[in-house]
Structure 1
């Protein structure tokens, strides 16, 4: 077969899952401006740019993802606003090879009833599946900056209005003063009603015990972030042995600020340490437009910044399929079709990435 794909083209085309994506983190800047105009909310283009890394400058403060969510949730005041956002996000996703998405969103942060937003998003998801062959589902997420009682209220909404596009619950926002155990009642209620469980733990350099608590007290099936697990060798070995999936984000702002020189990532970054320890990691984008990333850029970082070869990339894709909250029959089909497609596209590469220094030595990930 004639080789014709560059590496960026290959990474864009290869089929992939996205298990850690905040719905409103994917809002296009023009959409934010349009919605502000629609509701007569003051927002200049300069202010809008402050939420998006692509427009960040050294002499200006980037407000970042959480600030963007705090601005956007009150701004989306009609179900049609959610429909527009969902349609545009899925269009962006399918253009970078994403075939399956599980979206976090925060029902307690919107004034629109949970049932109405769920139905509006599901309508778009169903159309996208027909038009683009991309599957999308929802993970209502606890805003841990709110009260545990509000978290229980969110789970109660989910129980009272079950929907096949809603898979389980998560937890996000600032973890500093809101460790996951505060929300045990909401998680227990969700588990009792057969909802799947994941949660943001040990982000922003916070203690590894939040991962341990998430696993042992809350019963999480997946961990989102979880980077300080590398500070506890016993816990890291346990997570590898038990094949606990971790969704990891190459564009995570904490480590970008800690090590602005990406060459340091090749030595120090937890993502590399987690992979070398044989843990199950799934690269994720978190907030596409806020973080100036996408499905292609995410995997480019795995190669450039963390030294993954294409066998490692393939393993990450397999990890994502295995960790998706879908029936085994569906995932078996994806494993067969998507990995075959990956191999076919790989055969068309003009040249595979070369590793010419010690930090780029490819390593073999455990095949769980």
Structure 2
């Protein structure tokens, strides 16, 4: 089943474009932009004992992105790399708070990303849209400013907003103004929650902020009533099992991850890589490892791929077309 899962068309809804930066690109951009790195081999950076340790490295990697061309290169390479493992559509996070604080313009960042995505799509056929992520570490005012600028720019490639960075000691409700403005602007809304926070915080992101999806959502399983609600309302979770182990160290092994329990409870739980280059992952590996760890059949994995289509922010006609593609290519793969 290994080869067919690599070839199965897949959707990814939880991938940070900065976390998809090739190690060699980190090194080259650091040298070009005068950014000092603490190690000679960039791969040595990618070791983390906790989510907060990971974030410190993530912020360092972000710092090498200085010009519009840097953003274009990042976007292009991330899509080309993922397309080689069967990803046909993605909604990618980018987190510009640090760059905006350093004087970069949101218009230039989005233009660079768009340029790279368009070039990669023309080459591979793999499409990607963008989600502008609020960095919680910069606070609610910066989040509101980001959404305000998005409203002024109205970039076609940006579908919505999210919220990431540390969950510790941060009340998600403090970002209600930014999310309310995003809703008025017609932007879709999601939020990272439940990796290092209780189920009540997940409920806050949905009920107070109006999020339509939850990224990670691990602690949801602690609240049976909330699980039933999410399952009944088909509120998607963008789950990243291998990342939860390699970055957050939330579980000792993949076999102990609650992903099967999420599926069994009827949750719309999709599979994603989170930060593939920084965890030495790709979406094909994510599917293979989950299938092997939990004894899933090919049909099980096709169902997960189709759930990715359902959870996406594509319009109904594009969803229907992508659903047919997944089903048709799955049928071909079954025939061997």
User: What TM-score do the two structures reach when normalised by structure 1?
Assistant: 0.86
Residues 104 and 141 of structure 1 are in contact (CA less than 8 Å); yes or no, is this contact kept in structure 2? Answer: yes
Superimposed CA distance per residue, residues 25-72 of structure 1 (whole angstroms, 9 cap, x where no aligned partner): 00111111111111233326546223325xx8xxx9998642232112
1:76 equivalent to 2:68? Answer no
Picking from 161, 170, 195, the partner of 1:169 is 161
Task: Quote the offset at 1:298 in angstroms.
Answer: 0.6
Unaligned runs of 5+ in 1: 1-6, 349-368
Mark the CA change 1:8 to 1:64 in structure 2 (over 3 Å): closer, same or farther: farther
1:242 to 220, 230, 233: 233
Q: Is 1:336 the counterpart of 2:327 in the alignment? A: no
User: Which of 290, 293, 313 pairs up with 1:325?
Assistant: 313
Alpha carbons of 1:207 and 1:254: their partners in 2 closer, same or farther (altered >3 Å)? Answer: farther
Could you say what secondary structure the match of 2:138 adopts? coil
1:20 aligns with 2:14: yes
Aligned to 1:213: 204
Residue deviations 1:171-227, cap 9 Å, x none? 0000011131110010001001110000011113x2100111111111111110111
Selected match of 1:227 from 207, 211, 218: 218
The 5-angstrom pairing of residues 269-308 of structure 1 reads 269-308=257-296
Shift of the 308–64 alpha-carbon distance from structure 1 to 2, 3 Å rule, reads farther
SS of residue paired to 1:305 = helix
What is the CA-CA distance between 1:260 and the residue it aligns to? 2.5
Following the alignment from structure 1 to structure 2, what is the Cα–Cα distance between the partners of residues 291 and 129?
24
Aligned to 1:360: none
Contact 1:50 1:62 in 2 (8 A): no
Deviations 1:326-353 (A, max 9, x none): 11111111111221101211321xxxxx
Mark the CA change 1:261 to 1:330 in structure 2 (over 3 Å): closer, same or farther: closer
Per mean C-alpha deviation after superposition, the further-off stretch among 309-318 and 43-52 is: 43-52
Residue 85 of structure 1: how far off its partner (Å): 1.1
Pairwise mapping of residues 112-191 of structure 1 onto structure 2 (< 5 A)? 112-191=104-183
Q: Does 1:96 align with 2:90?
A: no
| CA deviation map 1:143-184 (0-9, x unaligned) | 011110000000011000001111000000000111311100
CA distance in 2 between partners of 1:170 and 1:132 (Å): 27
Whole-angstrom CA distance in 2 between matches of 1:258 and 1:51: 20
Instruction: Say which SS state the counterpart of residue 176 (structure 1) adopts.
Output: coil
How far apart in 1 are the matches of 2:79 and 2:290?
A: 23
Match of 2:75 in 1: 86
Contact map agreement 1:228 1:270 (CA 8 A) in 2: no
Deviates more, 1:114-123 or 1:19-28: 114-123
C-alpha spacing 1:132/1:261, structure 2 compared with 1 (3 Å): closer
Query: Cα deviation per residue 1:267-305 (whole Å; 9 max; x = unaligned)?
Result: xx2212111101101100000011111011110122122
Cα separation, 1, equivalents of 2:253 and 2:173: 35
Higher CA-based Rg? 1
Aligned length: 332
